[in-house]
Amino acid sequence: MAFEDLKAELALLINQMENQPEDSHELYMQVREKLNEMRAFGMPLPEDLVRLEEELEASFAAEQETKKG
């Protein structure tokens, strides 16, 4: 997949995330998948999306900890 195609897909995912916060887990997984594709191809990663991925992952991990205890 071309770099420009990946960038366009990521932009679409971000837009969906902003418009449909109830699906944040699914969108997080899609963002993560696209970033992993970019990593696999050795493409540069947009810092803001990497930061978003990390923040969402931390948020979901905190959610899980709250449910456990």
Q: Which long-range contacts (CB under 8 A, 24 or more apart) does 18-24 make?
A: 24/56
Contacts of 20 (CB under 8 A, 6+ apart): 27
pTM: 0.62
The CB density around residue 69, as the number of other CB atoms within 10 Å, is: 5
User: What's at 67, amino acid-wise?
Assistant: K
Which position has the higher pLDDT, 49 or 16?
49
Segment 3-35, tens digit of pLDDT: 888 888 888 887 777 766 566 787 788 888 889
pLDDT of residue 20: 63
Model pLDDT for residues 58-69, shown as the tens digit of each residue: 988 888 888 886
Would you state the pLDDT for residue 6?
A: 83
How is the chain split into domains, by residue range?
A: 1-9+24-42
